[in-house]
C-alpha cells in the first residue's frame, strides 16, 4: 500500500514540478510574482477540455495546440500588462497580476459557469499493474510528458543561446544588456516559456483533475508553496520541492485525512522556513 | 498654521457619518450604509499595515475570521456573552498576529504577501474540518436575545451608529499614527529597511506592531459585523474576497494616505453592491471581474490613487510658486554675495584648469586652511574593535582587524577597492555578524547587536549608496532620525530643523522630496538624518564620491564643523587629498587585513601601503608617487 502511495506521489510530483517551474522562471527573470499563475493553469485545463470535447482529440494531442498558443498568450500579456510594472514597487506588481487573476477567473465563471468538468482520455480507466502497485495509465503518461518537458526546459536553459541569455538576465539584467542581450525580448520570452510550461502542466492534468473556474486558486497556492519551499529563484529547488510536497501530501492524506493535507503541507513549509528562511535551495539576493 | 482649516473637513465628515444612518428609513439602504462603514473600517485597518508600513498582507480575513469565530463559539459552547467574546477574540487575534508575524515576516516582502494568502486558505479549509466544534460549512449561529451584551439590536440603525463611531475612532487613530513616531518609523521601514534600521528603527518589531494594530481594528470590525449577521461560516469569516477588497479599496483611494481608504470604500462599496444585486444571479463574478479591471487601470494610470488627483493640483500650484521664487532669486543674484563667490571660484577653476588639465578629477581644491588639531595624547577610547574576522564563503573579507577610535578624532580609513572597508562598517553597524572578535562602544559591548541598537548606543552611519526615504519630505526624513531621541513630534521637528541647519541645508527646500534635490544636498540630508539622533560617532562611507571639487570643499567644511562640535568621525574615503587633510589618523586596510595605522604622513611613507596601492615599493615608485600626488 505504501509503495502504491509513493509511486502515485512521484507521478504527481512531476506534474507539480512542471506546473510550478513557470512561476519560478518568471520570478527569477522578471522579478515579478505572477499572482495569475493559477488562472493560466485553469485556462489551459479549460482549453484541453474544450478541444477534447469539441473535436474528440486526445488531451495529449491537444498539447501541440495549447502549448504554442499559451506561449504566444504569455508573450502578449507580458507586453501589455507586465512590462509597464517591471521595476515598479511591488504593490504595483501585486495589483497588476492580482487584477489579471480576478479578470481571468471571473471571465471563466461568466463564460462557462461554476460547473465541474472532467476530460475523458481514451484510456482514462485503464490501469497498469506492477506487482501489487496499480497506477492509472493517465498518471504514467503525464509523468513521462512532464519529465520530457522539464528535460527540454533545462536543455533550453543550459545549452542554447536563448537559454543562456535568459539565465544571464536573471543573474544581472544590466550586465546582460551590456553583453548584448536584448533584455526586453528576454522578458517576453521568459514569460511566454513560463506560461507555456504551466499550460503543458494544465493539459496533462486535465484527465486527472476536475476542472472548475476556481481551480486556479487551489493550484496557485500549491505552486507558491512549492516555490517558497524550494528557495524562490532555484529551478532545481522547485523540482525537488515539488516531489517532496507531493510526498508530504500523499502521506498526510494516507495517514491522516485528505482535508488536513493542506495544513500539513504548510506546516512542513513553516518548519523549513524556520531552519532556512530562504528555502531549500535559496540564497539571499539584494 | 491652518490647523483649523485642516480639521474642518474631518469634523464635517464625522458629523455626516453619524447623521446619515438616522436619516435613512429603508432597511436596504441602511444595510448598504452599514456595509460601507464596515468596508471603510477594514480598509483603514489594512492601510495602517499595508499602506503606512508596507506590510502587504492579502490574508487579513484571518483576523476577521478568528474574531468572528471566537465570539460565536464562545457564546455557543461556553455561554460567554458576545461582548465578552469580543475581548477574548481580540486577545486571540493578537496571539495569532504575533505568531504569524514572527514566522512570515522572515520572508521577502513579496513572499510574505503570498504566505498570508496561503495562511488564509489554511484557516478557510481547516475550520469546517472540525465539524463538531465549528459546525462545518454552514457555521455557527448567534442567539437572538437583544441587548448590547449580545451585540444584538432590534433597530439596525444601531449597527450603523456603532460602525460610524468605530470608523471615526480608527480614522483619528490613523491620523495620529501618521504624525507620530510610530508612523514615521512605519514609513521609514517601508521606504528603505536598511536606512530605517540604521536610523534607529527596530524593523521587525515595528512591522509586527503595524500588523497587530491593523489586526485589532479588523477584529473589532469583525465583531460588529458578526453581531449584525449572527451567522458565522467559513465563507463569511475567512473570505478571500474581503481580503482583496481591503487592499483594493485602499489602492484605488490612495495607498498610504489617511483619506485614501475612506474614499475607496465610500466609492466602491456601493458600486460593488449594486453590481452584485443587479447581476449577481445572472452574471455571477461580474463585480469581481470589474474589480480586476479597475485595479489594473488604477495601478497603471494613477498609481497613487484617487487622492492624488487632488494633490496634483495642489502640488502644481506649489511648484509654480516655487519656480517663481527661484526665478526672482536668480534675478537678484547679481547683488547676492554668495553668487559672487561662486563666480570667483569658477574663474579660479578655469585658471587652474590650464595647469592641471592632465588630471581634472584631482581634488586640488582641498588645499584650504586650518591646521589639523593634533590627536590628544590622553584621549579616551570611544570605539574598540578587537580581532574582527568575517568570511563570505571562500572570501576572507576581514581578518583579525583590531583598532580603536578615540574620542573627538577624525579617523580616515583607506584601502584599495575590495579591501573590506564597507564590510567593516557593516559589522560595526550590526548589519553583518562577525565570525569572531568583539566591538565595544563606550566600554560596553555592541557586537552582534542590531543596527537600531547600535544607533541608539550613539553610532550613526552614512551609506556609500545614499539611502534617502524617497516618498518622505526632507524634513520628514530627518525627523525619523530625531525620533530616536524623543517621541514628541514637535520636539522631533525642532531637532530635525536644527540638524538640517548644522549641515547647512537651505531652509526653503525642507519640504521637497529627496528626488528633487541635488547630490550635495542628498549627502547633507543623510548627514542631517544621522545628526538628528545625536550620535557620538558617525561612520561615513565615501561621502565625497560623485561630488565636484567645490562641493568636496563644502563637505570637508561640514565634517570639520561636526568634529569641532565634539562628534567623532570615522571616514572611508578614496579622495586621498581630502582624507589626508581631514584625518588626524589614518588606518589602511588591504585584503581584509589592517596594513598600518598612524598619522597621514606616516601612512603615506609606509612601504606596505605604497606597495598595496601601486604594486611596487616606495623607492621604486618614489618619482611616480610624489609626482602625481603633489
Which of A119-128, B91-100, B150-159, B311-320 reaches the highest mean pLDDT? Answer: B91-100
Interface test with chain A among B62, B96, B103, B108, by most A beta carbons within 10 Å: B108
Residue B122 touches partner A, C-beta closer than 8 Å? yes
- State the CB neighbour count (10 A cutoff) for residue B272: 21
How many alpha carbons lie under 13 Å from residue B239 in its C-beta half-sphere? Answer: 13
Phi first, then psi: what are they for A122, rounded to 5°?
A: -65, -20
Residue B546 touches partner A, C-beta closer than 8 Å? no
**B114 confidence band (pLDDT: 50, 70, 90):** confident
**Among A61-70, B2-11, B166-175, which is the least confidently predicted range?**
B2-11
B549-603: per-residue pLDDT in tens?
A: 889 888 999 999 999 998 999 999 888 888 888 899 999 998 889 888 888 888 8
Query: What pLDDT shows up at residue B629?
Result: 45
Residue keyed to cell 497556492: A221
Residue A260 touches partner B, C-beta closer than 8 Å? yes
CA distance A207 to chain B (A): 25
Cβ contacts (< 8 Å) between A98 and chain B: which residues?
58, 244, 292, 295
Query: What pLDDT shows up at residue A286?
Result: 35
Residue B304 touches partner A, C-beta closer than 8 Å? no
CB-CB under 8 Å, B122 with A217: no
Residue B51 carries which DSSP code? Answer: I
Closest CA to B38 of B235, B233, B246: B246
Q: How far apart are CA B630 and CA B627, in angstroms?
A: 6
Residue B109 touches partner A, C-beta closer than 8 Å? yes
Cβ contacts (< 8 Å) between A90 and chain B: which residues?
56, 109-110, 113
Q: Which residue has the higher pLDDT, A112 or B344?
A: A112
Closest CA to B599 of B624, B619, B579: B579
* Range 44-73 of B in CB contact (< 8 A) with A: 56, 58
Query: What pLDDT shows up at residue B343?
Result: 54
**Among B207-211, B269-273, B534-538, which is the least confidently predicted range?**
B269-273
Query: What pLDDT shows up at residue A147?
Result: 95
**Among A102-116, B227-241, B276-290, which is the least confidently predicted range?**
B276-290
CB-CB under 8 Å, A98 with B122: no
Q: Which residue from B minimizes the CA distance to A97?
A: B296
Query: What pLDDT shows up at residue B368?
Result: 35
Q: Spell out the CATH class of B13-266.
A: mainly alpha
A223-268: per-residue pLDDT in tens?
A: 988 998 888 888 999 999 999 999 999 998 888 877 778 778 888 8
**B443 confidence band (pLDDT: 50, 70, 90):** confident
Q: C-alpha grid cell for residue A101?
A: 487573476
Task: Indicate the SS3 state at residue B180.
Answer: coil
Percent of chain B with pLDDT strictly greater than 70: 85
Query: What pLDDT shows up at residue B46?
Result: 96
CB-CB under 8 Å, A259 with B289: no
- Span B196-222, mean pLDDT? 95
**A11 confidence band (pLDDT: 50, 70, 90):** very high
Which is it for the CA torsion B425, B427, B429, B432, positive or negative?
Answer: positive
Reduced 3-state DSSP string for A114-140: CCCECCCCCCCCCEEEECCEEEEHHHH
Q: Flag whether pLDDT at B377 surpasses 60.
A: no
Size of interface A-B (CB pairs under 8 A): 115
CA distance A122 to chain B (A): 34
Mode of pairing for the β-strands spanning A133-136 and A127-130: antiparallel
* Range 509-528 of B in CB contact (< 8 A) with A: none
Query: What pLDDT shows up at residue B385?
Result: 92
CA distance B295 to chain A (A): 6
Q: C-alpha grid cell for residue A262?
A: 493542506
Residue B291 touches partner A, C-beta closer than 8 Å? yes
> What average pLDDT does chain A have?
88
Q: How far apart are CA A169 and CA B554, in angstroms?
A: 41
Interface test with chain A among B50, B115, B256, B268, by most A beta carbons within 10 Å: B115
Closest CA to B575 of B540, B607, B606, B599: B540
Which of B29-33, B114-118, B350-354, B416-420 reaches the highest mean pLDDT? Answer: B29-33
Q: How far apart are CA B576 and CA B563, in angstroms?
A: 19
Out of B103, B288, B298, the one facing A102 most closely (by C-beta) is B288
Cβ contacts (< 8 Å) between A107 and chain B: which residues?
285, 289
- Span B74-97, mean pLDDT? 93
Q: How far apart are CA B340 and CA B520, in angstroms?
A: 20
C-beta pairs of B274-277 under 8 Å, 24+ apart in sequence: none
Closest CA to B452 of B256, B263, B206, B225: B206
Query: What pLDDT shows up at residue B362?
Result: 44
**B367 confidence band (pLDDT: 50, 70, 90):** very low
Could you tell me which residues come within 8 angstroms of residue B471 by beta carbon, excluding any fewer than 6 positions away? B187, B191, B256, B513
- Span A133-151, mean pLDDT? 91
CB-CB under 8 Å, B125 with A263: yes
> What average pLDDT does chain B have?
85
Cβ(B415)–Cβ(B421) below 8 Å = yes
Closest CA to A136 of A209, A198, A199: A209
Q: Flag whether pLDDT at B623 surpasses 80.
A: no
Q: What ipTM describes this predicted complex?
A: 0.86
Cβ contacts (< 8 Å) between B283 and chain A: which residues?
110
**B617 confidence band (pLDDT: 50, 70, 90):** low
Out of A98, A217, A270, the one facing B295 most closely (by C-beta) is A98
**Among A48-52, A151-155, B503-507, B617-621, which is the least confidently predicted range?**
B617-621
Could you tell me which residues come within 8 angstroms of residue B609 by beta carbon, excluding any fewer than 6 positions away? B588, B595, B596, B603
Can you spell out the DSSP letters for B6-32? HHHHHHHHHHHHHHHHHH---HHHHHH
Q: How far apart are CA B190 and CA B175, in angstroms?
A: 18
Residue B459 carries which DSSP code? Answer: E
Beta bridge partners of B386: B438
CB-CB under 8 Å, A259 with B126: yes
B472-500: per-residue pLDDT in tens?
A: 999 999 999 999 888 999 999 999 999 99
Residue B132 touches partner A, C-beta closer than 8 Å? no
Residue B245 carries which DSSP code? Answer: H
**B278 confidence band (pLDDT: 50, 70, 90):** confident
Query: What pLDDT shows up at residue A153?
Result: 95
Q: Which residue from A minimizes the CA distance to B117?
A: A221
CB-CB under 8 Å, A114 with B108: no
Q: How far apart are CA B627 and CA B622, in angstroms?
A: 8
A24-80: per-residue pLDDT in tens?
A: 999 999 988 899 999 999 999 999 999 998 888 888 899 999 999 999 999 999 999
Closest CA to A103 of A43, A48, A190, A19: A43
* Range 254-283 of B in CB contact (< 8 A) with A: 255, 283
CA distance B110 to chain A (A): 7
Q: Flag whether pLDDT at B511 surpasses 60.
A: yes
Residue A226 touches partner B, C-beta closer than 8 Å? no
B397-412: per-residue pLDDT in tens?
A: 899 999 999 998 999 9
**A105 confidence band (pLDDT: 50, 70, 90):** very high
Query: What pLDDT shows up at residue B287?
Result: 82
Interface test with chain B among A79, A96, A103, by most B beta carbons within 10 Å: A103
Reduced 3-state DSSP string for A14-29: HHHHHHHHHHHHHHHH
Residue A273 touches partner B, C-beta closer than 8 Å? yes
CA distance A215 to chain B (A): 13
Out of A92, A224, A259, the one facing B303 most closely (by C-beta) is A92
Q: Flag whether pLDDT at B545 surpasses 60.
A: yes
Out of B126, B286, B300, the one facing A260 most closely (by C-beta) is B126
CB-CB under 8 Å, B118 with A266: yes
CA distance B112 to chain A (A): 10
- Span B421-427, mean pLDDT? 91
Residue A283 touches partner B, C-beta closer than 8 Å? no
Mode of pairing for the β-strands spanning B593-598 and B585-590: antiparallel
Instruction: Please tell me the total number of residues recorded for chain A in this structure.
Output: 286
Query: What pLDDT shows up at residue B315?
Result: 66
Out of B108, B110, B289, the one facing A110 most closely (by C-beta) is B289
Q: How far apart are CA A180 and CA A203, in angstroms?
A: 36
Q: Flag whether pLDDT at B318 surpasses 80.
A: no
CB-CB under 8 Å, B125 with A228: no
CA distance B597 to chain A (A): 33
Query: What pLDDT shows up at residue B607?
Result: 79
Cβ contacts (< 8 Å) between B118 and chain A: which residues?
221, 224-225, 266
The angle formed by the CA atoms of residues B349, B352 and B353, to the nearest 5 degrees, is 80
Q: C-alpha grid cell for residue B266?
A: 465610500
Q: Which residues of B348-376 are buried (b: 16+ CB within 10 A; e: fewer)?
A: ebeeeeeeeeeeeebbebbeeeeebeeee
The helix (run of H) or strand (run of E) holding residue B281 is none
Q: Which residues of A47-65 are buried (b: 16+ CB within 10 A; e: fewer)?
A: bbbebbeeeeebbbebbee
**B184 confidence band (pLDDT: 50, 70, 90):** very high
Q: C-alpha grid cell for residue B438?
A: 568583539
Cβ(B305)–Cβ(B254) below 8 Å = yes
Residue A276 touches partner B, C-beta closer than 8 Å? no
Q: Which residue from B minimizes the CA distance to A83?
A: B300
C-beta pairs of B28-32 under 8 Å, 24+ apart in sequence: B30/B156, B30/B157, B30/B160, B31/B156, B32/B269, B32/B270, B32/B273
Residue B380 carries which DSSP code? Answer: P
Residue A93 touches partner B, C-beta closer than 8 Å? yes
Cβ(A169)–Cβ(A179) below 8 Å = no
CB-CB under 8 Å, A273 with B289: no
Closest CA to B368 of B549, B543, B603: B549
C-alpha dist (Å) from residue B11 to B7, B15, B20, B263: 6, 6, 14, 16
CB-CB under 8 Å, B285 with A84: no
Amino acid at each position: 500500500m505504501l509503495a502504491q502511495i509513493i509511486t502515485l506521489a512521484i507521478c504527481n510530483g512531476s506534474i507539480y514540478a512542471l506546473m510550478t517551474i513557470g512561476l519560478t522562471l518568471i520570478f527569477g527573470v522578471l522579478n515579478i510574482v505572477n499572482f495569475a499563475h493559477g488562472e493560466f493553469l485553469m485556462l489551459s485545463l479549460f482549453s484541453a477540455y474544450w478541444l477534447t470535447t469539441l473535436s474528440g482529440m486526445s488531451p495529449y494531442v491537444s498539447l501541440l495546440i495549447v502549448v504554442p498558443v499559451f506561449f504566444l498568450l504569455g508573450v502578449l500579456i507580458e507586453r501589455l500588462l507586465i512590462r509597464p510594472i517591471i521595476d515598479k514597487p511591488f504593490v504595483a506588481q501585486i495589483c497588476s497580476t492580482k487584477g489579471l487573476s480576478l479578470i481571468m477567473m471571473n471571465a471563466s465563471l461568466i463564460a462557462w459557469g461554476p460547473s465541474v468538468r472532467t476530460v475523458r482520455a481514451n484510456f482514462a480507466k485503464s490501469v497498469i499493474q506492477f506487482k501489487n502497485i496499480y497506477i492509472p495509465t493517465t498518471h504514467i503518461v503525464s509523468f513521462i510528458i512532464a519529465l520530457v518537458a522539464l528535460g527540454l526546459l533545462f536543455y533550453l536553459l543550459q545549452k542554447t543561446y536563448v537559454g543562456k541569455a535568459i539565465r544571464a538576465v536573471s543573474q544581472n539584467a544590466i550586465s546582460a544588456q551590456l553583453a548584448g542581450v536584448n533584455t526586453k525580448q528576454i522578458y517576453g520570452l521568459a514569460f511566454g516559456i513560463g506560461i507555456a510550461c504551466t499550460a503543458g502542466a494544465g493539459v496533462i492534468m486535465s484527465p486527472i483533475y476536475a476542472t472548475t473556474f476556481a481551480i486556479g486558486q487551489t493550484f496557485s497556492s500549491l505552486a507558491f508553496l512549492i516555490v517558497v519551499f524550494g528557495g524562490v529563484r532555484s529551478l532545481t529547488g522547485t523540482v525537488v520541492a515539488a516531489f517532496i510536497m507531493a510526498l508530504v501530501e500523499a502521506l498526510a492524506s494516507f495517514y491522516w485525512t485528505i482535508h488536513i493535507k493542506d495544513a500539513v503541507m504548510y506546516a512542513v513549509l513553516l518548519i523549513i522556513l524556520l531552519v532556512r528562511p530562504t528555502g531549500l535551495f535559496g540564497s539571499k539576493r539584494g | 498654521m491652518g490647523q483649523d482649516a485642516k480639521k474642518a473637513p474631518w469634523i464635517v465628515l464625522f458629523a455626516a457619518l453619524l447623521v446619515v444612518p438616522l436619516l435613512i428609513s429603508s432597511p436596504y439602504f441602511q444595510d448598504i450604509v452599514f456595509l460601507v462603514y464596515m468596508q471603510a473600517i477594514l480598509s483603514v485597518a489594512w492601510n495602517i499595515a499595508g499602506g503606512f508600513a508596507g506590510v502587504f498582507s492579502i490574508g487579513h480575513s484571518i483576523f476577521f475570521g478568528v474574531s468572528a469565530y471566537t465570539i460565536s463559539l464562545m457564546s455557543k459552547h461556553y455561554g460567554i456573552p458576545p461582548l465578552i467574546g469580543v475581548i477574548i477574540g481580540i486577545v486571540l487575534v493578537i496571539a495569532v498576529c504575533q505568531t504569524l508575524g514572527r514566522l512570515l515576516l522572515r520572508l521577502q516582502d513579496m513572499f510574505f504577501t503570498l504566505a498570508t494568502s496561503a495562511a488564509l486558505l489554511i484557516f478557510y479549509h481547516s475550520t469546517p474540518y472540525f465539524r463538531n466544534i465549528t459546525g462545518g460549512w454552514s457555521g455557527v449561529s448567534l442567539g437572538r436575545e437583544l441587548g448590547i451584551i449580545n451585540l444584538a439590536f432590534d433597530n439596525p440603525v444601531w449597527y450603523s451608529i456603532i460602525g460610524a463611531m468605530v470608523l471615526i475612532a480608527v480614522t483619528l487613530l490613523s491620523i495620529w499614527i501618521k504624525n507620530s513616531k510610530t508612523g514615521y518609523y512605519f514609513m521609514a521601514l517601508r521606504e528603505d529597511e536598511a536606512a530605517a534600521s540604521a536610523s534607529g528603527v527596530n524593523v521587525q518589531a515595528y512591522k509586527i506592531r503595524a500588523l497587530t494594530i491593523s489586526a485589532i481594528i479588523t477584529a473589532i470590525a469583525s465583531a460588529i459585523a458578526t453581531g449584525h449577521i449572527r451567522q458565522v461560516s467559513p465563507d463569511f469569516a475567512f473570505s478571500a474576497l474581503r481580503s482583496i477588497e481591503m487592499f483594493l479599496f485602499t489602492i484605488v483611494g490612495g495607498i498610504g494616505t489617511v483619506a485614501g481608504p475612506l474614499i475607496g470604500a465610500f466609492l466602491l462599496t456601493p458600486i460593488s453592491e449594486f453590481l452584485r444585486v443587479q447581476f449577481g444571479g445572472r452574471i455571477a463574478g461580474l463585480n469581481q471581474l470589474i474589480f480586476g479591471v479597475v485595479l489594473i487601470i488604477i495601478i497603471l494610470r494613477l498609481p497613487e490613487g484617487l487622492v492624488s488627483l487632488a494633490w496634483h493640483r495642489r502640488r502644481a500650484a506649489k511648484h509654480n510658486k516655487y519656480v517663481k521664487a527661484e526665478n526672482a532669486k536668480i534675478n537678484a543674484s547679481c547683488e547676492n554675495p554668495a553668487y559672487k563667490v561662486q563666480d570667483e571660484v569658477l574663474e579660479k577653476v578655469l585658471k587652474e584648469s590650464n595647469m592641471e588639465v592632465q588630471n581634472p578629477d584631482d581634488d586640488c581644491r582641498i588645499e584650504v586652511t586650518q591646521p589639523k588639531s593634533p590627536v590628544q595624547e590622553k584621549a579616551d577610547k570611544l570605539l574598540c574593535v578587537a580581532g574582527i574576522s568575517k568570511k563570505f564563503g571562500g572570501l576572507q573579507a576581514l581578518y583579525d582587524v583590531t583598532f580603536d577610535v578615540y574620542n573627538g578624532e577624525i579617523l580616515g580609513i583607506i584601502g584599495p577597492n575590495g579591501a573590506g572597508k564597507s564590510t567593516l562598517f557593516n559589522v560595526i553597524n550590526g548589519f553583518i555578524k562577525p565570525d569572531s572578535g568583539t566591538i565595544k562602544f563606550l566600554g560596553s559591548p555592541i557586537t552582534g547587536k542590531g543596527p537600531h541598537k547600535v544607533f541608539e548606543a550613539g553610532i550613526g552611519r552614512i551609506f556609500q549608496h545614499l539611502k534617502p526615504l524617497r516618498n518622505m519630505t526632507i524634513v520628514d526624513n530627518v525627523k525619523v532620525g530625531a525620533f530616536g531621541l524623543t517621541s514628541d513630534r514637535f520636539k522631533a521637528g525642532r531637532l530635525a530643523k536644527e540638524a538640517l541647519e548644522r549641515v547647512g541645508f537651505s531652509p526653503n527646500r525642507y519640504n521637497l522630496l529627496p528626488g528633487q534635490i541635488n547630490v550635495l544636498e542628498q549627502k547633507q540630508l543623510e548627514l542631517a538624518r544621522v545628526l538628528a539622533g545625536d550620535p557620538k560617532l558617525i561612520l561615513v562611507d565615501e561621502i565625497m564620491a560623485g561630488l565636484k571639487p567645490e562641493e568636496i570643499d563644502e563637505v570637508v567644511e561640514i565634517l570639520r564643523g561636526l568634529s569641532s562640535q565634539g562628534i567623532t568621525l570615522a571616514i572611508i574615503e578614496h579622495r586621498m587629498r581630502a582624507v589626508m587633510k581631514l584625518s588626524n589618523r589614518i588606518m589602511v586596510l588591504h585584503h581584509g587585513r589592517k596594513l598600518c595605522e598612524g598619522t597621514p604622513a606616516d601612512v603615506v611613507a609606509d612601504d606596505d601601503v605604497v606597495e598595496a596601492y601601486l604594486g611596487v615599493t616606495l623607492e621604486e615608485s618614489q618619482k611616480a608617487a610624489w609626482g602625481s600626488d603633489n
